[in-house]
Amino acid sequence: MDSMNIGVLLGSTREGRKGAAVAEWVLEAVAERPARYALIDLADHPMPHLNEPIPPAAGRYTHDHTKAWASHIHGFDAFVIVTPEYNHQIPAVLKNALDHVFAEWAHKPVGFVGYGVVGGARALDQLRVLSGVLGMLDVQPQVELSVLTDFEGATVAREGRHVTALAKVLDAVEGWAPLARTYRESRG
Ligand SMILES: Cc1cc2nc3c(=O)[nH]c(=O)nc-3n(C[C@H](O)[C@H](O)[C@H](O)COP(=O)(O)O)c2cc1C
């Protein structure tokens, strides 16, 4: 089986976002891993507020931006979603991007790297519900970074328990990815 394509989906687009440093921390950690990882930066995929006339679960996308997003997401076997917590939830831009398509997320493993003043856990709890409704396969380990204590200047600390937690997330996502691809292929 080909190596797995895993997307690191960065869910914040704010000017001066800390998310860029968190995504970079994840991408540095995957350098020696067998799977191929690629950043999916929502800042590079601007989308309007969802305006598809047919619910995306029907799979009949109308707008070019949705078709382009669907085609991009289709190419990944699994995801690591990097998200901050905004008002105890995920950012609207991430929710909007997840809502835009459906089948392209389904039956694919997903792991979570959250961050916030207190680690982003409340946003991740909600993201687990959302990803489950999208048919994704969420793995149990997760990373919870505090923007107050887990950054060294502009970068995430490169040692400590969060490094261990990230490795567990990546191991789980990589472990399930080939099995999930086999499952998807068995469904045609
Ligand atoms: C609109 C908004 C709401 C926020 N709400 C929370 C919150 O509920 N809990 C929390 O821990 N941090 C909260 N924060 C702080 C963010 O976690 C922190 O600013 C983080 O750096 C945001 O990620 P970003 O820099 O990638 O945008 C909030 C920040 C913003 C901009």
Whole-number average pLDDT of the chain = 97
Model pLDDT, residue 157: 84
Distance set, CA 43 to CA 9, 39, 85, 105 (Å):
11, 11, 17, 19
Q: Is 119 in the pocket of ligand 1 (CB under 6 A)?
A: no
Supply the pLDDT for residue 113: 98
Cα of 115 vs centre of ligand 1, distance in Å, is 8
Domain assignment of residue 15, given as a range: 5-186
Which residue has the least CA distance to atom 19 on ligand 1? Answer: 116
Q: Identify the pLDDT of residue 167.
A: 97
Q: Is the CB of 11 under 6 A from ligand 1?
A: no
Tell me which of 2 and 138 has the higher pLDDT.
138
Of all residues in the chain, what percent carry a pLDDT higher than 70?
100
Average pLDDT over residues 40-58: 98
Map residue 154 onto helix, strand or coil: coil
In a 10 Å sphere around its CB, with 0-12 CB exposed, 13-18 middle and 19+ buried, how is residue 163 labelled? middle
As for how many domains the chain has, the answer is 1
CATH number of the structural domain spanning residue 134: 3.40.50.360
Looking at the chain, the whole-number percentage of residues with pLDDT higher than 90 is 95
Backbone angles phi, psi at 54, to 5 degrees: -115, 135
Q: Is 86 in the pocket of ligand 1 (CB under 6 A)?
A: yes
- Atom of ligand 1 minimally distant from the CA of 17: 25
How close is the Cα of 90 to the center of ligand 1, in Å? 9
For ligand 1, atom 31, name the residue with the nearest CA: 86
Which numbered atom of ligand 1 lies nearest the CA of 20? 26
Q: Decide if pLDDT at 1 tops 80.
A: no
User: Mind listing the pLDDT tens digit for each residue in 76-134?
Assistant: 999 999 999 999 999 999 999 999 999 999 999 999 999 999 999 999 999 999 999 99
CB distance 18 to ligand 1 below 6 Å: yes
> Taking a C-beta distance cutoff of 8 angstroms, is the pair 25, 155 a contact?
yes
Q: Is 50 exposed, middle or buried (CB count within 10 Å of its CB: 0-12, 13-18, 19+)?
A: middle
Give how far Cα 41 sits from Cα of 1, 82, 178, Å. 27, 10, 24
- Report whether residue 88 contacts ligand 1, using a CB cutoff of 6 Å: yes
